[in-house]
């Protein structure tokens, strides 16, 4: 299964622990392919540095870790259904990477349920789905 965690899932898992941390652990140690978009890496870097004041060397090592997965370059895919223009490159990367699940905590995206056939699910739903596959 190809899973695309949104930026907020990476940030919550690394800084907040809890379910998102457990989900990321399950993705990393499980039989899944993690898809990461360049837009997620850029957004993660900016937020980790500016909001969480993460040291530069830690940001760089985390970005290197993210880059070790399947990385989808920036894409110009247009999606009329995407409510926030800032989410277009992220959803576009998930679609271009042929993800099976897009995992997010973004309420506006979750309300869509899916976009162009790509299921949009909560971290809890993704974690439960992964447990079914074990």
Tokens representing 54 are: 């993460």
Mean pLDDT for 20-44 is 93
Asked whether 108 and 101 are in contact (CB, 8 A), the reply is no
pTM of the model: 0.93
Identify the pLDDT of residue 16: 84
Overall CATH class of domain 2-133: alpha beta
Predicted confidence at residue 79, as pLDDT, reads 67
pLDDT digits (tens, 9 = 90+) for 54-79: 999 999 999 999 999 889 987 767 66
Q: Please, what is the Cα angle at 57 between 62 and 55, to 5 degrees?
A: 95
| Rounded-to-integer distance, Cα 1 and Cα 133, Å | 9
Break the chain into its structural domains and give their ranges: 2-133
């Amino acid at each position: 299964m190809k899973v695309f965690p949104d930026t907020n899932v990476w940030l919550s898992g690394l800084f907040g622990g809890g379910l998102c941390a457990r989900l990321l652990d399950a993705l990393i140690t499980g039989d899944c392919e993690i898809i990461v978009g360049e837009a997620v890496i850029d957004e993660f870097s900016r937020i980790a540095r500016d909001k969480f004041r993460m040291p530069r060397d830690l940001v760089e090592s985390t970005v290197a870790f993210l880059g070790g997965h399947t990385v989808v370059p920036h894409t110009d895919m247009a999606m009329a259904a995407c409510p926030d223009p800032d989410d277009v490159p992220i959803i576009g990367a998930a679609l271009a990477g042929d993800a099976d699940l897009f995992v997010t905590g973004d309420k506006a995206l979750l309300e869509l349920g899916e976009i162009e056939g790509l299921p949009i699910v909560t971290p809890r739903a993704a974690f439960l789905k992964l447990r079914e596959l074990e």
